[in-house]
Amino acid sequence: MYRIVNKLDVFGRQLLSVSKNRAFLAVTPNVLRFQKWEIPTAYFAITAAKTPISLRTYHQHHPSLQQYRNRNQRQKQNNQQEQERQNQNQHEATISSQPLLLAVTGYLILINGFAVALFWYDKNQALKGGWRIPEKQLQATALFGGWVGGIWAMKTFKHKTVKKAFQEPYMFAVAGNCMIFAGLAVGWVFLPGIRRSANGFVRTLIR
């Protein structure tokens, strides 16, 4: 029995030197302490010795430094690709919105220029005693976005600046136009469907 346990002791030392399995780290001290007399410990050592040593399993649960580097590199590449996709989508969205922005800018320039022309014409007709433009039409230009040019024309030509019957409805029209533009801006930011519909409508008009 002494020889058997002694051989188990030597075998346990060899396993301790070549394996990183925690089972042998716990078994070997017990074999050293009771190598001459303790049969249960020898049996436990024999049972532990029959446990297969799988370095592949160990490395799967404990990846090497190179594996960590490869994993970090792949993660970095994935992050870079995701950032590139986001930048590309943002660039495409900006390009697709350019026709609509140009159309809105052109519309505002035209409607404000038209409002200035109407106020100028109405002022000249008032001086000459000719046909006058109805006040509702002048107020409608403010509702459709021409209030910047209209206010500038009123102050420049000194026309319709004192008459409250004209000023109050005109300012209500200005407030209504601001509310319309604010609603469109909120829908543009938070509702992608509105952006797609507006861009598609403008592209159809351009074609």
Unique residue bearing structure tokens 């102050």: 155
Instruction: Please state, for a pLDDT cut of 70, what percent of the chain lies above it.
Output: 60
Please indicate, yes or no, whether residues 163 and 100 belong to a single structural domain of this protein: yes
User: What's the total number of domains in the chain?
Assistant: 2
- Residue 154 pLDDT: 94
Length of the chain: 207
Residue whose C-alpha is closest to residue 119's, from 93, 99, 88, 148: 148
Full residue range of the structural domain in which residue 36 is found: 2-61
Mean pLDDT of 175-191: 89
The tokens for 148 are 């910047």
Would you say residue 52 lies in a domain? yes
Mean pLDDT of 117-122: 95
The tokens for 168 are 């109050």
Would you say residue 78 lies in a domain? no
Would you say residue 45 lies in a domain? yes
Report the predicted TM-score, pTM, of the whole model to 2 decimal places. 0.52
Is the model's pLDDT at 55 over the cut of 70? no
Would you say residue 69 lies in a domain? no
Would you say residue 12 lies in a domain? yes
User: Tell me, what amino acid is at 55?
Assistant: L
